[in-house]
Chain A
């Protein structure tokens, strides 16, 4: 049985200039011209903060390629919205660091190169510090009441 092609998610990083506009426009244009199915979101950061149900649909899509920014950021944006991505089936294409000509072939390829940082998949596994550590850290020095 043939595997379905990976789902494609494109993030337009609408509210910042961190992804060069020329790169994101060229990626989107080539995605449209390729005639493939895709999901496009204005701003993944915003969806994450809103815990938008769209995130769950996208996270549950099975194999997925995400054109956005750094894999570490994308991993924890999904996880902090309680919709963790599966590291085995997720590849993030970083539009902050590559040219469209380099990135689009990876985005359209059916071959997967999962690249989420290894480690925990959910915040629930956070380590806990001990109380003395809290007391000794300078940021916790409380100013006396003025």
Chain B
């Protein structure tokens, strides 16, 4: 997926050559467009809509004369009594023509770092198995591959000792961006301690479980048992890393891959720390 393409924007034109929209017309057009993933501007100015030239634009309005392009060359579509169907169709066509990304192809779930809190400790980078985190040229932690993040998985926010990782679409605070209270912070720190008590970290827990499963598998040659052991091991991870969704657990790599990925992530974190 090319995350960095601009999404086509629809501009409601109520200036020259078009009448003002009623509240109801505006609401029905804007809501329909937003639901289909189009940003909308209602500038309420009299001239032709201005834009940055980087974002593809479709101009929509209740035009008094029929035209297909504005003076600035932007494509136009009429808003009329026939409902939002023709508007949406025109927007879809313009989007396809502009090569603008389709909405809904990716659910925007990813970590957002609060740099007022972040201490650049790199725990998140070490922890994440999916390569979401990286460092910038100055060695600062960044969420770089947002679309690698596993939808609804807030696990890295649980390992951050500073409660600096937000998932704005998460259900509860402070992960959703609500203010961080002292008790939240204590709880976040406690979680790290609990994980330490359990044997260092979740990766080593997974590895130990996996080794036990392998040795049993060697003796018993029982593939079902090995599988159930792996499932138990993943369930345990789910207990430690609170509210890890089952679909994320199911898509986790094997314990061996986890060990390798964790090693790679740790090496990247150490290299980033050296560079600081």
Q: A residues bordering B, Cβ < 8 Å?
A: 12-16, 18, 25, 28-29, 32-43, 45-54, 56-57, 69-74, 76-77, 79-80, 96, 117, 119-120, 122-129, 131, 133-134, 137-146
A sample of 19 more A-B contacts (CB under 8 A), given A70-B173, A143-B262, is: A15-B104, A15-B169, A16-B169, A29-B23, A39-B42, A41-B39, A42-B103, A43-B37, A53-B6, A54-B7, A69-B176, A69-B177, A70-B177, A73-B112, A76-B177, A123-B140, A138-B200, A143-B201, A144-B207
Q: Which residues of A contact B31 (CB under 8 A)?
A: 25, 28
Q: Closest 5 CB pairs between A and B?
A: A73-B177, A70-B177, A33-B23, A119-B116, A32-B26
Q: Is B97 in contact with chain A by the CB < 8 A criterion?
A: no
State the CA gap A15–B104 with chains docked (Å). 8
| Closest CB in chain B relative to A78 CB, distance in Å | 10
- Interface pairs (9), CB distance under 8 Å: A73-B166, A77-B168, A126-B118, A126-B140, A128-B276, A134-B121, A140-B266, A142-B203, A142-B262
Interface flags, B82-121, vs A, CB<8A=1, else 0: 0000000000000000000101101111101111101111
Pick the residue among A50, A128, A137 that contacts B6 (CB under 8 A). A50
Contact status A129-B119, CB under 8 Å: yes
Kindly report which residue of chain B lies nearest to residue A36, judged by CB atoms.
B44
| Closest CB in chain B relative to A30 CB, distance in Å | 8
State the CA gap A38–B14 with chains docked (Å). 13
State the CA gap A109–B9 with chains docked (Å). 26
Q: Which residues of B contact A38 (CB under 8 A)?
A: 41-42
Task: Decide: A139 near B104, CB < 8 A? Known: A33-B23, A51-B4, A124-B138.
Answer: no
State the CA gap A122–B138 with chains docked (Å). 13
Pick the residue among B27, B161, B192 that contacts A28 (CB under 8 A). B27
Pick the residue among B9, B34, B139 that contacts A128 (CB under 8 A). B139
Contact status A40-B39, CB under 8 Å: yes
Contact status B122-A134, CB under 8 Å: yes
Task: Decide: A70 near B176, CB < 8 A? Known: A12-B34, A120-B116.
Answer: yes
Q: Which residues of A contact B147 (CB under 8 A)?
A: 49
Contact status A139-B108, CB under 8 Å: no
| Closest CB in chain B relative to A107 CB, distance in Å | 14
State the CA gap A45–B20 with chains docked (Å). 31
Contact status A139-B201, CB under 8 Å: yes
Q: Which residues of B contact A71 (CB under 8 A)?
A: 177
Q: Is B255 in contact with chain A by the CB < 8 A criterion?
A: yes
Pick the residue among B43, B170, B260, B274 that contacts A37 (CB under 8 A). B43
State the CA gap A106–B7 with chains docked (Å). 29
Interface flags, B142-154, vs A, CB<8A=1, else 0: 1100110000000
Interface flags, B15-46, vs A, CB<8A=1, else 0: 00000110110110011011101111111110
**Which residues 254-275 of B sit at the A interface, judged by CB distance below 8 A?**
255-256, 258-260, 262-263, 266, 269-270, 273-274
Q: Which residues of A contact B101 (CB under 8 A)?
A: 50
Contact status B195-A72, CB under 8 Å: no
| Closest CB in chain A relative to B114 CB, distance in Å | 5
Q: Which residues of B contact A32 (CB under 8 A)?
A: 21, 23-24, 26-27, 30, 42
State the CA gap A18–B195 with chains docked (Å). 30
| Closest CB in chain A relative to B55 CB, distance in Å | 6
Interface flags, B64-79, vs A, CB<8A=1, else 0: 0000000000000000
